[in-house]
Amino acid sequence: MSSLAIELRNVVKQRGKKPVLQGVNLEVPTGAVVGLLGRNGSGKSTLIKCALGLLKLNTGACRLLGENSWDLSAAAKARIGYVPQVINIYPWMKVREYVQYTASFYARWNDLLANRLMNEWELRGDDRIGTLSVGTLQKLAILAAVGYEPDLLVLDEPAASLDPLARRQFLQLIVDLAEPERRSVLFSTHITSDLERIADMVAVLSEGRISYFGPMEELKAQTHLNLEDAFLEMIHG
């Protein structure tokens, strides 16, 4: 097994002629929980999609679980969970049907975990997905991504639409999933308090590059600030 869950080397990505990522380097160790911080429009979603092989790079290289992101094997894909920022799920399906449909693709789907989350998050199996609120839809997407207990979990603003109780439950879920099996997690967020609860390390994306990557406590020690103010100091200089 690779010692790195995610590896980005000199990644450049442009949107048309506009540069978004300008030589990004990032190494997420296996078993680490890494928070990705950046202002709105800084390229966090683009970085995540490049890392997952969903966007083709202009130059550079991305590897996930030791494999080239653009050419992942089926075995590697089955070990990766992903929750995008914008969630599009079949609106005509019922919640229970979608959970069962997702489970059919994964040999190690955890029915007990999925059923527990449906109960805790009040996901009603007979509800049509098209009628769900944004927050409930986000809960369903998270359930689908963690139900097979992936070795690598990548989350793009996963708690943005959750109410405070659901957000606490989600954060505890990430801790429960990550710690026992040394699962790796990368998640972007603008809620710095979420990072302080669960992240081992922080990556700050600013002006198309990673301006800081390391332990959260080290960032706070360097700036003598709390995490939110340290982040603002980092991106504004």
> Which residue matches tokens 């296996």?
30
pLDDT tens digits along 165-207: 878 887 887 777 776 567 899 988 877 777 777 888 899 898 8
The pLDDT of residue 222 is above 90: no
Summary mean pLDDT of the chain: 86
Is-contact 53 80, C-beta < 8 A?
A: no
Q: How many CA atoms within 13 Å lie on the side-chain side of 234? A: 28
What pLDDT was estimated at residue 62? 96
Which tokens go with 22?
A: 């300008």
User: Which stretch of DSSP H or E encloses residue 44?
Assistant: helix 44-51
The CATH architecture of the domain made up of 4-236 is 3-Layer(aba) Sandwich (3.40)
Residue 149 corresponds to which tokens in the numbers above? 């207990």
Residue 23: pLDDT over 80 = yes
The DSSP code for 127 is S
Going by C-alpha positions, the residue among 34, 84, 52, 30 that lies closest to residue 194 is: 34
Q: Are strands 184-188 and 152-156 parallel, antiparallel or unpaired?
A: parallel
Q: Where are the domains of the chain?
A: 4-236
CA distances from 65 to 29, 37, 78, 116, 174 (A): 10, 22, 11, 29, 19
Q: 86-104: per-residue pLDDT in tens?
A: 888 999 999 999 999 999 9
pLDDT tens sequence across 30-55 = 988 899 988 878 899 999 999 999 99
Total-model pTM = 0.86
Determine the 3-state secondary structure of 185 from DSSP. strand
